[in-house]
Chain A
Amino acid sequence: MSLQEKYSSVVSAAQTAGISDLKVQEQDGILYISGTTSSNAGKDAVWNALGAIDATYSASDINIDVQVAGLAAGTSLTVDTESSNLNIRQEPSTEGVILGKAAKGEVVTLVEQSSDEWWKIKTKDGEEGYAYARYLRA
C-alpha cells in the first residue's frame, strides 16, 4: 500500500477543510502534506484525521505542515496552553527574556506572524512580545 493510500483520509480531510496551497508529495519514504489555513479549525481537521489512524501521533512516514497563515494584525487570538501561562518573550526563541505572561484562555491581539513558530502579540495590558504560536488559536 502506498503512503498516499495509507493516509488518503488525511489528504481528503485537508481537501475538505479547504487548505490553501495544498501540496501532497512522497519523498524518501515520507508523505509530505503541506498548506495553509486561516483558522485553527482547518489545521485541527487535518490532525484529527491523522489521530484517527495514528492515535499516538508517532508515525515517521508522514509529515504534516499545515500552518495558520495570513492572519491580519489585530486578529484576536486565544491562549491555548495546557494549564500554565504563556510566556511572552523579547526574542522569538525560548532563550529570549520573558517580558510577561498571558493566562490560559486569555484573549490577546496579533501584531504579526513573525514565523511559523513565533508570533508577535500584545496583551490587553499592553505587553508586547513573541509567543510560541502552537499555544495561540485563531
Chain B
Amino acid sequence: MKKTIKITALALVFSVAAFSCKKNVSDAELTTQSTTVVAAYPGTSVEVKEGVAHLSGTFASQEEKDAAIAALKNVKGVKDVMDMATVEAAASVVETVSAVAPEVQQKVTDAVKDFPGVKVDVVNGELTLTGEVTAEQARKIKMSVDALKVGKVNYNYNVKK
C-alpha cells in the first residue's frame, strides 16, 4: 500500500516536472526561434503567445505563406499557428488598346463629337488632341478618352480659362 502511494507520488512529481519542462520553453524564446523561421520572408512577423504562433504580415505568394506555416509548426514548443497573414495581390497589367484600332477611333470620335474645336490625330501611335477647349470641355473629353485606355494621350490643346 505504502509502495503504491510512493509510486503515485513519484508519477505525480514526474508529470509536474514534464509539464513545467514544456512550459520552460517560454513564449519569448519561441518567438525568437519563430522569427528566425520567417526571417526569410520580408514583410512578415511572428509572435508566440501561450505557445501559439501568431503569424502576420504580407507574403509574396500563397506557397511562401504555406511554407512558413509548415515551418512554424515544426518549431518545438509551438502548439499551433494562428494565420493572420495575407498574400500580396498579383500585380495585374492595365490592358491598353491601340489608338489606331477602328473601333477605338469611333469611340474617340464619339468622345469629341460635341467639341468641334478639337482635332484628333494619332502621332507616333499616340492619340494627340489639339485645338481649343474650355477647362470644362477638357474635363469631359479626358473622362471619355481615359476610359478607352489607349496608353499615352497627348492633350495638346489650348485650354481657355
Q: Which residues of A contact B (CB under 8 A)?
A: 23, 25, 27-30, 32, 47, 51, 55-60, 63-65, 67, 82, 84, 93-95, 116-117, 132, 134
Contact = CB atoms under 8 A, between A and B. Distances in A.
Contact of A60 (B92, B110, B137, B155): B155
B146 A93 contact: no
B149 interface: yes
A30 to B, nearest CB: 6
Contacts of A55: 135, 161
A65 B149 CA distance: 8
B149 A57 contact: no
A134 B111 CA distance: 9
Chain B interface residue count: which class? Answer: 20 to 34
B155 A57 contact: yes
Nearest to A92: B110
A69 to B, nearest CB: 12
Interface string B126-155: 000000000111111111101101011111
B147 A67 contact: yes
A28 B93 CA distance: 11
Given A55-B135, A56-B159, A25 B110 contact: no
15 contacts: A25-B94, A55-B161, A56-B138, A57-B138, A57-B142, A57-B155, A57-B159, A60-B152, A60-B154, A64-B142, A65-B149, A94-B110, A94-B113, A132-B110, A134-B143
